[in-house]
Structure 1
Amino acid sequence: MTGSAPQHKPAHTKERGTQWSVRDAVIDFARRVGMTSIFANPGSTELPMFRDFPADFRYVLGLQEAVVVGMADGYAQATGNAALVNLHSAAGVGNAMGNIFTAFRNRTPLVVTAGQQARSILPFDPFLAATQATELPKPYVKWSIEPARAQDVPLAIARAYAIAMQEPRGPVFVSIPADDWDQPAERVAEREVAHVMRPDPALLERIGAVLDACERPAFVVGGAVDRADAAAEVVRLAERHAARVYVAPMTGRCSFPETHRLFAGFLPAMRERIVEMLGAHDAIFVIGAPAFTYHVEGSGPHVPPGARLCQLIDDPGVAAWTPQGIAAVGNMRLGVQDLLARAAPKARELPAPRAVAPRALPPAQGERMSVAFALQTLAEVRDPEGIVVEEAPSSRPVMQTYLPIARAGTFLTMDSGGLGYGMPAAVGVALARPGERVIALIGDGSSMYSIQAIWSAVQMRLPITFVILNNTRYAALQDFAPVFGFAPNETVQGTDLPGLDFVTIAAGMGCPGVRVSEAAELAGVLRRALNAVDVKSGPTLVEAIVA
């Protein structure tokens, strides 16, 4: 799910000598950089943008603004290019903020535009105006502007695109008054802006020296490896150093094959547990992730005593708070290639492969199937080359054991912890990868945040299998409650979710579905659902009742 911005030849929509409008200049620039899919939910202040809608553009309708941004995020991550989003003014941006926050944490390049009331009535606090429009999405956009003049809108869009694409990538925001679109403007000049930078060679040399001199290295990989299309290089570097490879906490992509003999598992977002799991290593190289992301308060050292910490990250802000060691900033692929260009280190004995988890057993008579059994079954029947988009937080540790991801670019989840991302992101991924099958693995609670995404998948006849793990509760909160002092078996208020029927909900949006509660039936149901999905039939849904 990686790549770089496509290079398009300029396609002029106006004859030479004809006066350009703001709309003409924006559409022309968007076409040149490949932003020809507009993810949107319409509002009155956006309507002027879409008059004379160009035939080579695509309007992707979401039924709520969070769905719009989630679809755009999945699409941008799958194409490697910024996606263009159009929202309504204050209310629309407010509805979208949860997934804008997720896009910021995912480092997803989005150019988010929002309608604003006409400039002529802004002094009178008009209906549907956004007061201090540029402040609303902060701090979860890289840059935010409402251009001072209508004529400045095309250049603002061009600058926004460049900032969104520069590493670390992320969303940007442009507020556009409704009466700007028909004003005269100049075509944006041809321009090339660097999106990546090479890490400091001197720092990479020091990191390489640490790796050469250590005895028991560990790599910790994060999502920036996959974003930079550097997974193959990281595998080569790990094999060269015979390093065990862990996945950083809260990582939203697959950056190392989980079936590789050097793969060592997933680090939790807890300081003491990270130190414990890395305790056997004397050098720790974190690639494409913070060192480290924590979810709960901890104490003690950040790395095992005596271990050297090195980091390669694309975000200077993250490097600034890295607690110790050496932090090099720049593009993952360029940095790892430079490390591979060094002389090979002394040969090391490969560490023993990770222990294989025992098979999950079917349930006893009268009991619900376990999540482990359900995901083991899904792993056995799915195409391992297919794409999985996941948002089932309580099931993620089980998924990491029983549904291994073997190839970079085939897994996506949210880095933020915010719900309502997975279902629309699956729609965006399927839209970006025509003909490829996508599995959206979603928890029952998570699905209800953006379930309108099913409608968009139906309308575009996308090959998605929605697999809903229904345990009738917000299980992540119930499982996490003891960390905050809840007694065993103490009731956690607001976490039970009885009475949801996802097959009926999906049918109401035109998506066929099957509910399965018998473990013996699950493999057949999943196999039929996966085989039924193609570019002609559209999506389907399987609701699995789990313990």
Structure 2
Amino acid sequence: MNSPSPDLQALALPTVRDAFYHFMREVGCRQIFGNPGSTELPMVRNFPDDFKYVLGLQEACVIGMADGYAQASHNATFVNLHSAAGVGNAMGNIYTAFKNQTPLVIVAGQQSRSIQPFDPYLHSRRAAELPHPYVKWSIEPARAEDVPLAIRKAYHIAMQQPRGPVLVSVPADDWDKACHPLMPAQVSQVVAPDPAQIQMLCGLIQESRRIALVVGAAIDREGAWPEVVQLAQACHAAVFAAPMASRGSFPESHSLFQGFLPASSAAIRELLYGHDLVLVVGGPAFTYHVERDTEGSHLPEGATLAVLTDDAEAAASVPQGFAVQGSVRLGLQGLLRGLVERPAIEPPKVPRRPVPAVAEGTDPISVAFVLQTLSKLRDPRDIVVEEAPTARVVMHQYLRIDEPGTFYTMASGGLGYGMPAAVGIAMAQPDRRVICVIGDGSSMYSIQSLWTAAEQGANVVFVVLNNRRYAALKRFSGVLGFAAGEKLVGIDIPGIDFSGLAKSQGCFGEKVDEWGQVEAALSAALQRQGPTVLDVAVA
């Protein structure tokens, strides 16, 4: 007859909490971004002295800060959220993290197992289903002893390309339970593209005479700027940024850079007209924001589409042409090795991108003048975080990005990301200045981030472009065919004092109402330590 198994606690085994923090140390993560509730308190009980808990005042802010920190630190970031309601509050920025392909390990609280049969207060029903479809994986382990293994699996899934958020729901009474230590395990996070497919792509490039190279966010995520610049120069390619790209992926002052593809099928075909190969690297082939004008080709007549992406879903969604899946950086390196000298023909002439007209100082202040002044004053290594939908087209003209890792925005279109992301990025890159260019409407989705910025001493300049309305809706009404002067509701937001909100949360705040104040205010803000909010009244 078999003897009963010894009680785990009697063997002096580590607790689930011990195993969790030990694993975090192993993978180089010693920060947790969170907004805890009662079901999370056991997780942070006797919080380790070698860890830092970064408090956010609302769950969407917490996810946004963790997103920025993860992208800028190149490692998954751990997040602590309250059960159902807390995860629900965070869902907008979880969606953005999913679209940004940001690795987050969200450890969400859950009510104790012993009372779950009675549908207790703060119980998260079907907790693993709650964040779907915007996490790569989610689970509530069947036993307390299984929690550390689930968290390790979650981390590796979050880090595997394409990266993204994951969620583990942990009942409150699990943390003090004993468990066996995790055995060491190494997991590959990068998969190289098929060499045969790379060679086929080399063949397409060799046969083409006029190539358009469309660059996406994965180039910056993988640190592949040198490779993509070398490929563009070898192919004499005209380079375009992919529609709605969330990272800068090519030096915008380079002679081959042609600008940004809009999220419109007709405009994309027009801009790519005359090219026989459209090579999309590191992003989805096409992202549209308005209804397509035709059911025919997504490309101009005579063009072939080829895509190199780390995202299996993006590869499967290619509407025509040829797709290769795998690490973008390794794929670019394979292309550069495989390309032989191109035929001795006169290379196509790629026109230089026009220089924008000088923006003059006017009252009310133009957005172009603000961004032109900021471009003149900023260090090229300063990091720009953008969430000003109305100003983004102007920004592309006047605030050019020429260094890797210096531009971030949301890939989702959901507001509330920019302000907390800027705080997280500044924490991950404390030797760099972060500039957050944000609309007045966008800032109100996560204004509580200013408190954390002040608490952490984050070196961020928040430039609030205050036009007193959701101006993007006004502009988009024209895209949708609204008549001039047609009545619009729900777009005006006058009367918010952003410098006052900044001061109330511990930041420096200043109003800028006249064009003559812009340069001095920006210059001082860029030299000041800690967070600054400039409330700039723009036309």
Q: Quickly name the TM-score band, shorter chain normalised.
A: over 0.9
Match of 1:193 in 2: 187
Contact kept? 1:78, 1:432, Cα under 8 Å: yes
Q: SS in structure 2 opposite 1:420? A: coil
Contact kept? 1:458, 1:539, Cα under 8 Å: yes
Distance 1:132 1:44 in 2: 19
Match of 1:62 in 2: 56
Match of 2:123 in 1: 129
Q: Tell whether 2:428 aligns with 1:432.
A: yes
AA of the residue aligned to 1:501:
D
Q: Tell whether 2:413 aligns with 1:421.
A: no
Higher mean C-alpha displacement, 516-525 vs 442-451: 516-525
Contact kept? 2:381, 2:432, Cα under 8 Å: no
Q: Tell whether 2:341 aligns with 1:355.
A: no
Match of 1:266 in 2: 260
2:320 pairs with one of 310, 313, 324: 324
Match of 2:364 in 1: 368
TM-score (norm 2): 0.96
Q: SS in structure 1 opposite 2:90? A: helix
Q: Tell whether 2:529 aligns with 1:541.
A: no
Shift of 1:187: 1.4
Distance 1:166 1:198 in 2: 12
Match of 1:441 in 2: 437
Distance 2:268 2:351 in 1: 20
Q: Tell whether 2:343 aligns with 1:346.
A: yes
Match of 1:292 in 2: 286
Match of 1:230 in 2: 224
1:46 pairs with one of 40, 55, 62: 40
Q: Tell whether 2:167 aligns with 1:173.
A: yes
AA of the residue aligned to 2:151:
I
Contact kept? 1:203, 1:326, Cα under 8 Å: no
Distance 1:203 1:266 in 2: 28
Q: Tell whether 2:201 aligns with 1:202.
A: no
Shift of 1:211: 1.1
AA of the residue aligned to 2:535:
E
1:276 pairs with one of 253, 256, 270: 270
The 5-angstrom pairing of residues 394-543 of structure 1 reads 394-533=390-529, 538-543=530-535
Q: SS in structure 2 opposite 1:133? A: coil
Q: SS in structure 1 opposite 2:128? A: helix
Distance 1:94 1:495 in 2: 25
Contact kept? 2:67, 2:424, Cα under 8 Å: yes
Distance 2:212 2:423 in 1: 36
Shift of 1:68: 0.3
Shift of 1:280: 2.0
Q: SS in structure 1 opposite 2:147? A: helix
Distance 1:344 1:50 in 2: 60
Contact kept? 1:84, 1:112, Cα under 8 Å: yes
TM superposition outliers: structure 1 runs of 4+ over 6 Å: none
Distance 1:61 1:69 in 2: 11
Shift of 1:201: 1.2
AA of the residue aligned to 1:344:
E
**Which stretches in structure 2 are left out of the alignment for 5+ residues?**
1-10
Contact kept? 2:243, 2:263, Cα under 8 Å: yes
User: Identity percentage over the alignment?
Assistant: 57
Distance 1:353 1:208 in 2: 26
AA of the residue aligned to 1:546:
V
The superposition leaves residues 270-329 of structure 1 with CA deviations (integer Å, 9 ceiling, x where unpaired) of 111101100121111000111101111112420111111100011111111100111000
Shift of 1:52: 1.4
The 5-angstrom pairing of residues 296-315 of structure 1 reads 296-298=290-292, 299=294, 300-315=296-311
Shift of 1:267: 0.3
Match of 1:245 in 2: 239
AA of the residue aligned to 2:361:
P
Distance 2:13 2:103 in 1: 31
Q: SS in structure 2 opposite 1:541? A: strand
Shift of 1:345: 2.2
Q: SS in structure 1 opposite 2:107? A: strand
Distance 1:524 1:25 in 2: 52
CA pair 344-499 structure 1, distance change in 2 beyond 3 A: same
How many residues align structurally? 524
Shift of 1:350: 4.8
AA of the residue aligned to 1:529:
A
The superposition leaves residues 90-140 of structure 1 with CA deviations (integer Å, 9 ceiling, x where unpaired) of 000000000000000000000011000000000000000101111110000
Q: SS in structure 1 opposite 2:176? A: coil
Distance 1:29 1:240 in 2: 45
Distance 1:199 1:490 in 2: 52
AA of the residue aligned to 1:23:
R
AA of the residue aligned to 1:489:
G
Q: SS in structure 2 opposite 1:377? A: helix
Distance 1:528 1:350 in 2: 43
The superposition leaves residues 188-220 of structure 1 with CA deviations (integer Å, 9 ceiling, x where unpaired) of 111111111111111111111111111110100
Distance 1:189 1:257 in 2: 44
AA of the residue aligned to 1:498:
P
2:132 pairs with one of 134, 138, 162: 138
Distance 1:39 1:90 in 2: 17
Contact kept? 2:69, 2:424, Cα under 8 Å: yes
Q: Tell whether 2:97 aligns with 1:100.
A: no
TM-score (norm 1): 0.95
Distance 1:421 1:409 in 2: 17
Q: SS in structure 2 opposite 1:490? A: coil
2:389 pairs with one of 393, 397, 400: 393
Distance 1:238 1:489 in 2: 45
Q: Tell whether 2:89 aligns with 1:90.
A: no
Match of 2:330 in 1: 334
Shift of 1:362: 1.9
The superposition leaves residues 121-180 of structure 1 with CA deviations (integer Å, 9 ceiling, x where unpaired) of 000000001011111100000001000000000000000001000000000010000000
Shift of 1:349: 4.8
Match of 1:110 in 2: 104
Contact kept? 1:514, 1:543, Cα under 8 Å: yes
Q: SS in structure 2 opposite 1:134? A: coil
Contact kept? 1:110, 1:170, Cα under 8 Å: yes
Shift of 1:346: 3.3
Distance 1:266 1:72 in 2: 28
Match of 2:148 in 1: 154
